[in-house]
Structure 1
């Protein structure tokens, strides 16, 4: 395949007019393609960016990863690919341990089947982000308090065995009993993230000093960042090895705070996530998240019980658009936060996350207004059956 007349996204976060060549599902040098009877695609002067990677979301199109079925994961993966998200690392909720084990086992089985029988119409399954159960009841958000547990290394290993090693992130509330010892015990096996926590600055910083390296949806489900009590946000700022998730759906974080966070952390430490739930891509109405009822109206999803935000109903590509058009984040920076940065965090940057010769040819073509024109997955143009 030869893609011409397009502004190509580069690893330095800039765009350059040029061509893209694809052969055998990988980005290729021109000489490897020229002379073949290759498919030619006119980019019409728009943008070519890498396929997006969402490391934290729950579902879409009526499905949730915690449904625990192959059908649900397949439906999720088809929708995500159709909107330009070509790599997925879905998140679990705070559920009973045995139920989580079954969900993780289903995810691992799906991943193996996908490797054996690739389908370019579906986003690649890259692992799992466990948002619970080792969190704080004080900041549980849409998590079910009945299933919250203290950190337990043995239970984590049960999760990882069920997942066949595919758990990439495990969330903890560092202020709770045993949490810091847990961080030190598992830090070499998984990314430990601070999630749904009521930790003050000292507790959060201690966790990061002991080996935690990630922050789940910064600002949400944690204490506010203030001048005398900087909390988790301040600890993230003071821990250069930590990467932080941001939900740029226009609901969870004010645009001024998003801009301030880039100034505070720098563009290389921020990962855009959607945190989308099953109502994404669906009409307004009542849905569920982690067994709890959620009302969805427009781009707001709130718990029926107490009105707390319950994830988002915005896919990651729309979050990128919102960051650029409504939050004044430069396009090159926003793209990095949804492609290169998550790929680096997951440890898959050698094979995906940029338009680089030898990497997987996962590509999104946008027009000059950032509307989706086409998705190319594994070097093949999607037919759009997931839309």
Structure 2
């Protein structure tokens, strides 16, 4: 396949007018597919669209009435189908703070789905890349929409139970470093999983100690953590002072003020920021009452709040819409926003060799956007899911 007349997003984070070649589900060097194939070349006219890699969401819970924690392969299939339809071709869904045995079952289901998907690839569904465990090793004070009844102290044995059930697919585990045993936990598992600071009431010193001991990630920066102030910089200050740490941002226009998003880019730089959606099951659905982690949530527009206390309960916005919001309402350059939803998450997950950029040899997952960033086509593994003109 040849996709002509597009602005191609390059690894140096620039757009260049040109074309994209695909052979056997992978990006190919221009002309390579015609040299190795006797069949007539399929051509897609990109009509001047931006051509960007398929997005990767490393932290979200669900969409279209389904949640990863529903614990069924059918739910994951429907989630993966929706995500692919909006240009998110790689997913790393998140768990909630639930009983240990229930989490083991959810993780086992995710692992089974992942193996099934590898054995029987379906280009109409986003690739399952693993799991982001947001709980249960978090803080009661900053639990947000997590169920406090299931919060536990960090426990290496329990983490290994999780990873065994998940067949090694847990990529991130969240901790509150101020809690008893948390720093020792970080040191014990840092070589097995990305340790995140998540739903924590830690001050600067506690957070920095965790990062110095091997934690390397921050879950939805600014949310479910102490405020960033000039005398008490908290977790945000510790992230800023820890160059190896990558931080998630929810750019849905609800969770973080645009000025703070811009300030974060100035503070951390564009290579350390990962856009996430943190979307819950109401995403793609009408306004109404839904559940998240067993708790009731009211959704109106893109606001999702707990019925019990009004706390923000994830988002009702997919990652592609977050990218649009970052560009159109937060003044983040498109080139930067794309990197934060493709290259940066791929690098954090350790899969940049195979996805995350439009590079010969990588999976042919890409999205075409018009000048107003409206979705014109999704191509996954070289298969056109939604298409513009030919």
Q: TM-score range by the shorter chain?
A: over 0.9
Contact 1:121 1:383 in 2 (8 A): no
Question: How far has the Cα of 1:345 moved from its partner?
Answer: 0.1
Q: Deviations over 1:281-315 (max 9, x none)?
A: 00000000000000000110000000000000000
Number of the residue aligned with 1:267: 270
Number of the residue aligned with 2:360: 357
Q: How high is the TM-score relative to the length of structure 2?
A: 0.98
Question: How far has the Cα of 1:47 moved from its partner?
Answer: 0.3
Residues 1:27 and 2:60 aligned together:
no
Number of the residue aligned with 2:316: 313
Question: How far has the Cα of 1:90 moved from its partner?
Answer: 0.1
Distance 1:215 1:317 in 2: 21
Question: How far has the Cα of 1:33 moved from its partner?
Answer: 1.9
Question: How far has the Cα of 1:265 moved from its partner?
Answer: 0.1
Contact 2:9 2:53 in 1 (8 A): yes
Which residues of structure 1 form unaligned runs of 5+? none
Residues 1:218 and 2:221 aligned together:
yes
SS at structure 1 position matched to 2:121: coil
Residues 1:126 and 2:129 aligned together:
yes
Alpha carbon RMSD of aligned pairs, Å? Answer: 0.7
Number of the residue aligned with 1:42: 45
Distance 2:87 2:301 in 1: 22
Q: How high is the TM-score relative to the length of structure 1?
A: 0.99
Question: How far has the Cα of 1:31 moved from its partner?
Answer: 2.6
Distance 1:220 1:30 in 2: 44
Contact 2:379 2:386 in 1 (8 A): no
Number of the residue aligned with 2:106: 103
Q: Deviations over 1:112-149 (max 9, x none)?
A: 00000000000000000000000000000000000000
How do residues 69-218 of structure 1 correspond to structure 2 at under 5 angstroms? 69-218=72-221
Question: How far has the Cα of 1:383 moved from its partner?
Answer: 5.2
Number of the residue aligned with 1:2: 2
Contact 2:376 2:386 in 1 (8 A): no
Residues 1:11 and 2:32 aligned together:
no
Number of the residue aligned with 2:287: 284
Q: Deviations over 1:229-288 (max 9, x none)?
A: 000000000000000000000000000000000000000000000000000000000000
Distance 2:241 2:62 in 1: 33
Question: How far has the Cα of 1:50 moved from its partner?
Answer: 0.1
SS at structure 2 position matched to 1:87: strand
Q: Deviations over 1:170-205 (max 9, x none)?
A: 000000000000000000000000000000000000
Distance 2:349 2:105 in 1: 23
Contact 1:93 1:143 in 2 (8 A): yes
Number of the residue aligned with 1:63: 66
Residues 1:345 and 2:348 aligned together:
yes
Contact 1:180 1:210 in 2 (8 A): yes
Question: How far has the Cα of 1:30 moved from its partner?
Answer: 2.1
1:242 aligned to which of 235, 242, 245:
245
Question: How far has the Cα of 1:32 moved from its partner?
Answer: 1.8
Distance 1:368 1:329 in 2: 15
Contact 2:21 2:31 in 1 (8 A): no
Distance 1:60 1:333 in 2: 26
SS at structure 2 position matched to 1:86: strand
Which residues of structure 2 form unaligned runs of 5+? none
Distance 1:71 1:251 in 2: 30
SS at structure 2 position matched to 1:356: coil
Contact 2:377 2:386 in 1 (8 A): no
